[in-house]
Amino acid sequence: MDVQTWTYIIVGFTFLIYIGIAVWSRAGSTKEFYVAGGGVSPLANGMATAADWMSAASFISMAGLISFMGYDGGVYLMGWTGGYVLLALLLAPYLRKFGKFTVPDFIGDRYYSQKARTIAVFAALIVSFTYVAGQMRGVGVVFSRFLEVDINTGVIIGMALVFIYAVMGGMKGITYTQVAQYCILIFAFMVPAIFISIQLTNNPIPQLGFGDTLTGSDTYLLDKLDQLSIELGFNQYTEGQKSMVDVFCITAALMLGTAGLPHVIVRFFTVPRVKDARSSAGYALAFIAILYTTAPAIAAFARVNLIETVSNKEYASMPEWFQKWETTGLIAFEDKNQDGKIQYLADANANELKIDRDIIVLANPEIAQLPNWVIALVAAGALAAALSTAAGLLLVISASVSHDLLKKQWMPNISDKGELLAARISSAFAVIVAGYFGINPPGFVAAVVALAFGLAAASFFPAIILGIFYKKMNKEGAIAGMITGLGSMIFYILRYKFHLFGETTSADWWFGISPEGFGTVAMLINVITAMVVVQFTAPPPTDVVDMVESIRYPKGASKEVSMH
């Protein structure tokens, strides 16, 4: 069977699973809608958290970034994995012990202020919509190639699917759907990696094949990649070009942003006990490590295969996959010297081939001439990764509106049934907005997602970490910090990513720090502002200080903490 038929079969089968789970686990109360009833097992929650966290950026775009950036792409690996360790050790158990539905709920109660809650809701919406734009873009890229529709149609199909299982099932439906999605995405990621590792290095373990010699040769894979890169005028694959300041800032922003992501944090409210939050964090880290340790190998395999397939080869002899991707607009060939050959070079004036970074993982099995069912499996895995995260983000958006704005502020007497209806309506609205951003994305998937991490680092991380570990932190400090941190990050993105205040280049960046790394600076602005304001304002009430004490110390940590 051809690739498209296999894709319809495998993707269609996985979609039926997702919809079936959504119908089976439909939420009947706000507690089931927001936190799956608080009764998910640590193992299942670990899988769901891994799927929620490993988005289209991890599955589709990260290996593509590393493939094109080489050593510099390692910042994404370090930042995202390091951030998850930070989240698991420093935040998850304490937030679970606090026992709230959402991050704005924690901030509103910890800082005894509806204004702080409202700012946190605004930040959650900004972060979530920025992040979900990358997911919907990923869905569009997959559909555009494998179902042979344009990217916009692909985004609309993805919107429809997410609408069904996120709006119906809430967190309960999303959790069990994400367990299935993790199994699909990790299988889809590993199968081609193992195949290609055997092809190139005769080693069935991709992580080891990455550092091994090529089949039938004494040349190491990375040495070969360095050689190919230099021949084409690119920088050595294993040497970095970014400044150390920018590398540090991007890594820190991704780490701190991970620890402040509302859609990941809410996952730790779905388990029965604080002890289970720690366990599920450990499981999730192990599940995540499988993909993250494989991504650099896939990036290197794909880069070698791509260069050897296209560089200085006759355009007329290109395999079918090349023409298929050309129709999506994600690969473009312009024969500048009219010789019929593809000149793939670092020199922009001589280079005749443009390649979208987001296609590397998806096209990798086709470039390596793997069986058609493997190619279709990768498409299903990419959709699982994008849709699982999109669903988690949409839940954060709906909870922020229905729980943190309606229930906690505007309509405190709303019934449970009314709040559930409001949550579903806001989810539907969020799907539409997410679809718009997917059709009109501000960049490729990983770059868009990196901005979301920077926004989370600038707004949530200081408020949460100081709220847990600094008893003197008061509402005035937290509010001032969140406003200045988030405001400076938004300004920097608009100025240097969207060029809203005039055209800019990387030479104009402050201290040489890219927009993806500025979240670290914005986070420091948040902390400094908060600490200064605290010195000149009233300390928090005694009951709030006692509440922080109860969160910090493990007395009763093994007992079930009820949601309220």
User: Would you list the domain boundaries of the chain?
Assistant: 3-552
Query: By the 8 A CB rule, do 189 and 287 touch?
Result: no
Task: Report which of 264, 277, 262 is spatially closest to residue 102, judged by C-alpha positions.
Answer: 262
- Contacts of residue 118, defined as CB under 8 A and 6 or more positions apart, other chains included, come to 405, 409
Helix spans in 262-273 (H): 262-265
Highest mean pLDDT among 15-24, 91-100, 112-121: 112-121
The CATH fold of domain 3-552: Sodium/glucose cotransporter (1.20.1730)
Distances (CA, A) of 445 to 37, 136, 391, 402, 441: 33, 9, 17, 29, 8
SS3 450: helix
Q: What is the mean pLDDT of residues 103-117?
A: 84
Whole-angstrom distance, CA of residue 345 vs CA of residue 340: 15
* Strands 331-333, 353-355: pairing kind: antiparallel
Res 276: pLDDT:
78
Token pair 């998937």 is found at 445
- Contacts of residue 320, defined as CB under 8 A and 6 or more positions apart, other chains included, come to none
Split at pLDDT 50, 70, 90, the class of 165 is: low
Split at pLDDT 50, 70, 90, the class of 527 is: very high
Split at pLDDT 50, 70, 90, the class of 562 is: very low
Mean pLDDT of the chain: 79
Whole-angstrom distance, CA of residue 529 vs CA of residue 23: 47
Residue 287, pLDDT above cutoff 70: yes
Sign of CA dihedral 539, 524, 77, 374: positive
Residue 172, pLDDT above cutoff 70: no
Res 563: pLDDT:
42
Residue 35, pLDDT above cutoff 60: no
Higher pLDDT, 313 or 452: 313
Higher pLDDT, 2 or 492: 492
Task: Give me the torsion for CA of 453, 456, 461, 467, rounded to 10°.
Answer: -160
CA 564 to chain centre: 29
Phi-psi region of 142 (alpha: psi -120 to 50; beta: other; left: phi over 0): alpha
Residue 564, pLDDT above cutoff 50: no
Residue 28, pLDDT above cutoff 60: no
Provide, rounded to the nearest whole percent, the portion of the chain with pLDDT above 70: 87
Res 559: pLDDT:
44
Residue 267, pLDDT above cutoff 90: no
142 forms beta bridges with none
Token pair 């192990």 is found at 286
What type of residue is 102? T
Residue 128, pLDDT above cutoff 90: no
Split at pLDDT 50, 70, 90, the class of 51 is: confident
